[in-house]
Amino acid sequence: MSSVRTNIQPNLLDYEETLTSFSWDNIAGELSGLPQGKGLNIAYEAIDRHSTGNLKDTVAFRFIRKNRVVDDFTYSMLQKQTSKFANVLKNLGIKKGERVFSLAGRIPELYITALGTLKTTAVFCPLFSVFGPEPVFQRMNKGEASVLVTTSALFEKKIKQLMEKLPSLRFIILSDAAGHLSGKVLSWSKLMEQASDEFIIPKTDPEDPALLHFTSGTTGMPKGALHVHKAVLTHYITGKFVLDFHPGDIFWCTADPGWVTGTSYGIIAPLVNGVTSIIDEEEFDAKRWYSILEEHKVNIWYTAPTAIRRLMRMDINVKETYDFKNLRVILSVGEPLHAEAVIWGEENFGFPILDNWWQTETGGIMIANYASVKVKPGSMGKPLPGVEAAIAKVNDKEITIISSPDKQGHLVLKKGFPSLFRAYLNDEERYNKCFLGEWYLTGDLAKKDADGYFWFIGRADDIIKTSGHMVGPFEVESTLMKHPFVSEAAVIGKPEPSIGELVKAFVVLKSGNEPNDEVKMNIMGFARKEMGPAVAPKEIEFVESIPKTRSGKILRRLLKARELGLPEGDISTLEQN
């Protein structure tokens, strides 16, 4: 399956050739660096270097408000606004390395905060606006927030009650307050009014901390991953090679900046590459999304399997209803993208959806399908040039790289690419445990085929050991989803003394199907035929919905805890329906 469909030549034309010629030093040479050799700063690469040249009047961000009113910010406007905010922080006495948090929906102030903070060399940490007070407290406390930018409504609802418990919090800036509320609770517009729009970015070492991102909490308590300014090299080159940004492109990343995708690709990568980003303030809505793609002539669209699966379930004839002639590349991240979804993309848009793999810890895309490389549906693709990925056998203190193909093992990445996290906040021990020799252990299991494609097996924590077999839940879920009655499935291992663990599936049926024994037997029979009796689920439970994180990842640990009557653990990122 090839995904080249228009006359635009992909930036990454020859994968194999690029692998051999690639060097991170050359990539650094494609960026500008701060004037007078003052280092490397993400915000300078993203905005300032574009704001006086050809791109100054190009739209950097197009905000689509909930009521569909559009608010455009050109590169030069964004440059001034972010410089103003940098001066606000400077005037408040915020120093290098201090943490500036945001808690807001996808409003312009959030984006200006992110980039303005990076200009000052303070550290930006975005929080998801729907977090309740406890998860907000935990993250701000752990991250020792100095400043929080939020809205009046969120302040009233979530922050006021926390203020006493957060001694490091010096200022709260309200995006929509007309005047200051106190010496500590300040008005965005008042502060911005008084600040100059000229700001010279101070010396920034490429190793200076820039971003703090909390993980999704799929496998346990969310961890705070710290990234440095040098990560911009990965943002830039993945934007060029994977998202395939070309001058004039309109790009839409649907992720919220509260997750790493919404910052690395919802803010930084498109700006560094000088394209226009669409930012929709509203949450998922199939018809709204399709109409945005059409109306705003989106060329490149980066979304997640959870959204794609929801679109697939809708009864909409995409081809007949919409005109997507501008759309050139669709990408997905966050969870495995089932082969069916890749093929659905091909059928409805005329080209396959490009799955890619990465983590909060890696700061940017690591393994990907590319516009110019043959897609094998169900595979995550091949490593980014400049990144060495491998499958390994890992024992306590030893790591052995498995070179023969199709063998299941730990997915590991060789240290040395610029966007690898530099710390887990306040958890050095856990951080150290992620490394063995020159390798970073991702915590995921995968295999690599003879053509160099990587295939996701599962998270090491989710693997089911049944009758001497190692079963990845994703494989079972994918098979179940091929059954015509099944809409969604989640699979766990349930302790069963005779066989170790029993494969149990939670299944959501497509509407119109009765959850009865006959249907259950039918699905079980299908699974046995497809996967063999050792791997097929021995128990199926019909459910209305499957618990997921707000970023759409199946919370198998929660299903398991509930099944076993154990404490639910951290559920701060659980999506509440």
Minimum distance, C-beta of residue 222 to ligand ATP, in the bound complex (Å): 5
Instruction: Answer yes or no whether residue 364 interacts with ligand ATP by CB under 6 A.
Output: no
For 400, phi then psi, to 5°, come to -125, 120
**287 vs 430, beta carbon nearer ligand ATP:** 430
Out of 3, 238, 276, 359, name the contact with ligand ATP by CB under 6 A: 359
In three-state form (DSSP H/G/I as H, E/B as E, the rest C), the secondary structure along 114-151 is: HHHHHHHCCEEEEECCCCCHHHHHHHHHHCCEEEEEEC
Q: In this complex, which beta carbon is closest to Mg ion, that of residue 273 or of residue 362?
A: 362
User: Which window, 107-115, 133-141, 215-223, 273-281, contacts ligand ATP (CB under 6 A)?
Assistant: 215-223
Out of 334, 377, 385, 418, point to the residue binding ligand ATP (CB under 6 A).
334
User: Phi/psi class of residue 352: alpha, beta or left (left: φ > 0; alpha: ψ in -120 to 50)?
Assistant: beta
Specify the 3-state DSSP secondary structure of 84.
helix
Taking the complex as a whole, how short is the minimal distance between the CB of residue 14 and ligand ATP, in angstroms? 24
Q: Structure tokens of 240?
A: 């060029």
How far is it, in rounded angstroms, from Cα 522 to Cα 342? 26
Q: Can you name the residues that pair with 469 across neighbouring β-strands?
A: 466
Which residues face 70 on adjacent strands? Answer: 64
CA distance linking residue 551 with residue 230, whole number of Å = 26
For ligand ATP, the binding residues in 535-554 under the rule CB under 6 A are: 553
**Interatomic CA distance for residues 342 and 150, integer angstroms:** 38
Instruction: Report helix, strand and coil shares of the chain as percent, to nearest 5.
Output: 35, 25, 40
> Based on CB atoms, which residue is closest to ligand ATP, 223 or 410?
223
Residue pair 148/173 in contact (Cβ under 8 Å)? The answer is yes
User: If contact means CB under 5 to 8 A according to the sort of partner, which of Mg ion, ligand ATP, none does residue 459 touch?
Assistant: ligand ATP
Residue 356 interacts with which of Mg ion, ligand ATP, none, CB < 5 to 8 Å by class? ligand ATP
- Residue among 382, 538, 373, 377 nearest 446 (CA): 382
Residues in contact with ligand ATP, counted by CB under 6 A, come to a total of: 23
Q: For the chain, how long is the longest CA-to-CA vector?
A: 73
What is the nearest approach in angstroms of Mg ion to the Cβ of residue 360?
Answer: 6
- Residues near Mg ion, by CB under 5 A: 215
Asked if residue 444 binds ligand ATP (CB under 6 A), the reply is: yes
Closer residue to ligand ATP (CB): 260 or 292: 260
Among 380, 505, 507, 546, binds ligand ATP (CB under 6 A): 380
Which sign, positive or negative, has the C-alpha torsion 281, 286, 288, 293? positive
Cβ distance to ligand ATP smaller for residue 82 or 478: 478
Q: Least CB distance from residue 218 to Mg ion, whole Å?
A: 6
Q: Does 556 bind ligand ATP (CB under 6 A)?
A: no
Binder of residue 334, out of ligand ATP, Mg ion, none (CB less than 5 to 8 A by kind): ligand ATP
Q: Is 256 in the site for ligand ATP (CB under 6 A)?
A: no
What residues make contact with ligand ATP under the rule CB under 6 A?
215-220, 222-223, 333-336, 355-357, 359-360, 380, 442, 444, 456, 459, 553
